[in-house]
Amino acid sequence: MSSTGFTGFTLQFRDLPSVRHIARRLHNYPDVDMGPGRKYKFHLRRQRIRISEILYSGKRTTVYLGRCKNETEVVLKFTDTEDILEEAGAYDVMAAIQGKAVPRVYGALHGKDRRGGNMSCLVMERFGMPLEREFSTLTKRDKAKILDNLVAVHHAGLRHLDFAERNVLVEGDEYRIVDFGQAEEHRTPCKWTYSFLEHLDDDDVNDDAPCVDCEAIKSWAEQMRFWDHGNLRLACAFFVPKSDKLPTQSVIDSMKTVIGLDQDTIYYPEQTRQITVRYFEEIRRRMTAGQSLQELQEQREWITYLVHKQWHDERYVLCILHRFGLVTDLFV
């Protein structure tokens, strides 16, 4: 019997560098006895787990990479015991969507620190890496996958309450939502039935439709810009109505360029907007004339230069006209 009262698993921290991390507080570190609690089932055989790496280290939380006897990699998250219990409870509620919308969780292990206090960790499958891009920059299909996962969490009966890029893991083209320490019960069953993946062609959504009756999901879909509401976003800065003179949003996103090339000119926002629109109109003209996207991407600095040159030439003429009182507004 272990002196901590918890048995079954030995976590061996011998391969870690000598830096500060939470598990150093554990009784008998670096060979620590821990065991499952009574409340939630633990889905791994009792064994020694070799801890090989620190994946994340913060003030309250450290996440470790461990290797089981059969070489399966697991992730162990140590944080405040209460939060671990909350999170283990949340994953228990989400049993049906583990390995799909959220990672597979093996359960929680408990042990003691050197002063006899409780310490706990959550043990889960290793899955991908945290998303390091803003949601709004993802393709519509990827946004749909993440949003459908969020819907699955709601249907399991939970609201995440700390949903953000850092709490989404990506591996290949699959996503999982993590970090349910602050999750709350979805008080009434979630009424959302709109599948994002099945509506990739939607530009808009009817706010009053019963299939989109959950404010939390709708607000995330809007923040991610899943629906463009008939607008294009140019250079991340402003919106213009879709038109047959402009390319699609995905072409626009892949043709970003620098606007405001002349260092002696102070470009007013309306002028920047004007040049940006002209630049993308030129891209659309060239695509219609048969140029490939790859060709255009390679030539984008040259195209940007040509668009600026034409704009400055026109402005030069305008300035002369203005000097002779023939035009009054230089910002048009």
Q: Which is nearer to Zn ion, 85 or 190 (CB)?
A: 190
Q: Which is nearer to Zn ion, 23 or 190 (CB)?
A: 190
**Cα dihedral angle (87, 89, 91, 93), rounded to 10 degrees?**
-150
d(CA 205, CA 194): 10
d(CA 139, CA 159): 24
Minimum distance between the CB of residue 296 and Zn ion, rounded to whole angstroms?
42
- In DSSP terms, 63 is beta-bridged to 56, 77
Minimum distance between the CB of residue 215 and Zn ion, rounded to whole angstroms?
8
Per rule CB under 5 A, is residue 225 in the interface with Zn ion?
Answer: no
Asked if residue 144 lies in contact with residue 37, where contact means CB atoms within 8 angstroms, the answer is no
The only residue of 94, 105, 214, 303 in contact with Zn ion, by rule CB under 5 A: 214
Minimum distance between the CB of residue 214 and Zn ion, rounded to whole angstroms?
3
Where are the strands (E) in 179-297, listed by range? 184-185, 231-234, 238-241
Per rule CB under 5 A, is residue 154 in the interface with Zn ion?
Answer: yes
Binding segment (CB under 5 A) for Zn ion, from list 50-58, 153-161, 232-240, 242-250 = 153-161
Cβ neighbours around 153 below 10 Å, total = 24
d(CA 290, CA 293): 9
Minimum distance between the CB of residue 217 and Zn ion, rounded to whole angstroms?
5
d(CA 128, CA 156): 23
Per rule CB under 5 A, is residue 190 in the interface with Zn ion?
Answer: yes
Minimum distance between the CB of residue 104 and Zn ion, rounded to whole angstroms?
23
Minimum distance between the CB of residue 25 and Zn ion, rounded to whole angstroms?
38
Q: Which is nearer to Zn ion, 123 or 146 (CB)?
A: 146
Binding segment (CB under 5 A) for Zn ion, from list 103-111, 133-141, 174-182, 210-218 = 210-218
d(CA 249, CA 232): 6
Q: Which is nearer to Zn ion, 208 or 244 (CB)?
A: 208
Please count the residues of this chain forming the interface with Zn ion, following the rule CB under 5 A.
Answer: 3
Q: Which is nearer to Zn ion, 108 or 177 (CB)?
A: 177
Nearest to 215 by CA among 250, 191, 185: 191
Provide the binding-site residues for Zn ion, judged by CB under 5 A: 154, 190, 214
